[in-house]
Structure 1
Amino acid sequence: TGEKVYASGLRNPAGIAWAPDQKTLWTAVNERDELGDNLVPDYMTSVKEGGFYGWPYAYFGQHEDPNHKGEKPEMVKKSITPDVSLGAHTASLGIVFYTKNKFPQKYKNGAFIGQHGSWNRATLSGYKVVFVPFENNKAGKPEDFLTGFIADEPKGEVHGRPVGVAVQQDGSLLVADDSGNKIWKVSASK
């Protein structure tokens, strides 16, 4: 049928987007649960043709998953380390690259990621939109961009849960919130 697997070992590549150069595919991956509050980090990574990213035998590179210990050491050994850690259980889902000119220059060609938020850790993580800056086609460290969705941390109450992100023709950022049942619009001010 002409179909082929481009890459494998990605547990839940929820969001995918081409970098502005149109040569590199990137994904936001929602990683595995049940290895503790701080494992495993969700991540953003470039997707290499023929690459293997670990699922289910390894996580974040060549760290063997204890639930699959000794099963496939050859797969663990060839697991690719992701480019950017986005924090454990952040449920990083939507991703979009910003190619417009309305936001300050630092945002040009970087990526916005909607973090739906955790459900399975002692303290909440995610519940925001982060920005990953890019310089010379290399990803930097994630920065908080849109926060304020956590209403009461001790009670686990939230105002909303960001999911999808999109850029409008006018250069504003749209954020879908499936808990608050809203679409938020973020625009630059002068």
Structure 2
Amino acid sequence: MKNRSSIFLLTAAFAGAVLLNACTGNSKKSTAENTDSSKTAGVATASAGLTLPEGFNAAILAEDLGGTRHIAVSSQGDIFVKLGKPKDGKGILVLHENNGKAEVKNGFGDYEGTGIYIKNGYLYTSSNEDVYRYKLNDKNEVIDPAKRETVVKGLLNRNQHEAKAIVLDDASNLYVNIGAYSNSCQIKDREKGSLGQPGCPILDSAGGIWQFKADKLNQTYKDGVRYATGLRNVVGMDWNKQNNQLFVMQHGRDALHDIFPDMFDTKQSAILPAECMYAIKKGDNAGWPYIYYDQEQRKKILAPEYGGDGKKDGDPTHKFINPAAAYPGHLAPNGLLFYTGDQFPEKYKNGAFIAFHGSWNRAPEPQAGYFVVFQPFKDGKPDGKWEVFADGFSGSPENTAKGSAVRRPCGLAQGPDGSIYVTDDSKGTIYKISYKK
């Protein structure tokens, strides 16, 4: 057991070393500058293959379920999981936890997708083109899995950034990410030296968050509102009840060196641009594809496709919103959860957990990510340094560096007892993380 613990402590230390090379200092003057943290808080302990802060424990509830993406847990403790692709004809699994294990009760929904959310007596789910809902009974069980209602249909899917993440507010509004089917809106996508399309026509129907009514059926684009634009792709999103506001995690652009080798070296391309958390209000523009956020220079930079050189100010007229917080590049934030439970220590209350799926495009630098981090909040805003909360999903430091992670965290949910659940979409694992004093 001693050797096993040492391995996991080395994993956390390696991740810290990689990320410290990717980040610079932290300042409370601007929450967008919170890029200087990577060490697991307190004393790391090994549990179910993960390293966690002292006092926390992880349990593997289920394995080999398929590509488990986002997750929702009912007040009765039933676990609803959306699979990226159906397994045995089932795209949604319902599990019930008993004595530290979760057994599959049933499955339904023969479609691929990512989003799943429980609200106002319905289970909402998404495919890559539509959003559906299923009526729940007073025990939050789906009454008739064969009877799904279509809330929104015909959303754009061009097989790039196609996942439709969803979240609902307390005013019966539904928010859907429609990712941009492009890296940086070039005339020829991802081609060396190709410039950006003037006016970026992609933004008309993608690259942002759309708002629909949660209780109206068969809506299309014309029924919705483009709530926010200039977001390349969002998979992690949640509603922050502390300030009644939508928060999202953007996947930043790729390939700065590959497309513009005269302006960016491979190391710059590996760590830039930042993965950004945005606090969204109606009408906001985060600036994609015209700008990106450089966490080392701590400012918005004009994209090279639109005349930038890696240094030019991307927003001299201040028309684009600033990130609420910024993280190292290419870590792929796929899950976001605001913690409102009472089980964890007080420092976690109303803070944000972020599941970083892990990088694939940092070579020749080591790959990084494959962990869950915690971002402290105060009065509804990021406050202080972020820290690695759960690490070890990849299996080893060598797996992390090579990008060959055994497991990759994706979805997050909070249970009725204040525990949090984490999905892995490589091995189909569901973890439950709890705290005991």
Corresponding position: 1:64 with 2:64: no
Q: What's the CA shift for 1:4?
A: 1.9
In structure 2, what is the equivalent of residue 138 of structure 1? 381
In structure 2, what is the equivalent of residue 79 of structure 1? 320
Give the alignment's TM-score, normalised by structure 1: 0.91
In structure 1, what is the equivalent of residue 349 of structure 2? 108
Alpha carbons 1:31, 1:41 under 8 Å: kept? yes
What residue ranges of structure 1 are gaps of 5+ in the alignment? none
In structure 2, what is the equivalent of residue 174 of structure 1? 421
Q: In the TM superposition, what whole-angstrom CA distance separates every residue of 1:107-158 from its partner, at most 9, and x where no partner exists?
A: 0001111100000002122110011111121212321100112311444432
Determine the C-alpha separation between the residues in 2 that align with 1:169 and 1:91: 28
Decide which moves more: 141-150 or 32-41: 141-150
Determine the C-alpha separation between the residues in 2 that align with 1:108 and 1:125: 27
Q: Amino acid of the residue matched to residue 334 of structure 2?
A: L
Q: In the TM superposition, what whole-angstrom CA distance separates every residue of 1:31-81 from its partner, at most 9, and x where no partner exists?
A: 1111210111111110122111111110126311112227xx9x8442222
Determine the C-alpha separation between the residues in 2 that align with 1:154 and 1:94: 22
Determine the C-alpha separation between the residues in 1 that align with 2:415 and 2:251: 25
Q: Amino acid of the residue matched to residue 356 of structure 2?
A: Q
In structure 1, what is the equivalent of residue 249 of structure 2? 28
Corresponding position: 1:40 with 2:273: yes
2:236 is paired with a residue of what secondary structure?
strand
Determine the C-alpha separation between the residues in 2 that align with 1:146 and 1:82: 24
Question: When you count helix as a share of all residues, which structure comes out higher?
Answer: 2
Alpha carbons 2:243, 2:379 under 8 Å: kept? no
What residue ranges of structure 2 are gaps of 5+ in the alignment? 1-221, 257-268, 294-298
In structure 1, what is the equivalent of residue 73 of structure 2? none
Determine the C-alpha separation between the residues in 1 that align with 2:388 and 2:356: 10
Determine the C-alpha separation between the residues in 1 that align with 2:346 and 2:288: 36
Corresponding position: 1:17 with 2:238: yes
1:88 is paired with a residue of what secondary structure?
coil
Following superposition, which runs of at least 4 residues in structure 1 exceed 3 angstroms of deviation?
A: 153-157
Determine the C-alpha separation between the residues in 2 that align with 1:172 and 1:41: 29
In structure 1, what is the equivalent of residue 369 of structure 2? 126
* C-alpha RMSD of the superposition: 1.9
Check 1:154–1:115 CA distance in 2 against 1; reply closer, same or farther (3 A cut): closer
Q: What's the CA shift for 1:2?
A: 4.8
In structure 1, what is the equivalent of residue 434 of structure 2? 187
Corresponding position: 1:99 with 2:316: no
Q: Amino acid of the residue matched to residue 434 of structure 2?
A: S
**Relative contact order (alpha carbons < 8 A, sep ≥ 6): 1 or 2 greater?**
2
1:56 is paired with a residue of what secondary structure?
coil
Determine the C-alpha separation between the residues in 1 that align with 2:235 and 2:336: 9
Check 1:57–1:189 CA distance in 2 against 1; reply closer, same or farther (3 A cut): same
Rg larger for: 2
Determine the C-alpha separation between the residues in 1 that align with 2:401 and 2:300: 35
Decide which moves more: 91-100 or 57-66: 57-66
Kindly tell me the number of residue pairs found equivalent between the two proteins.
187
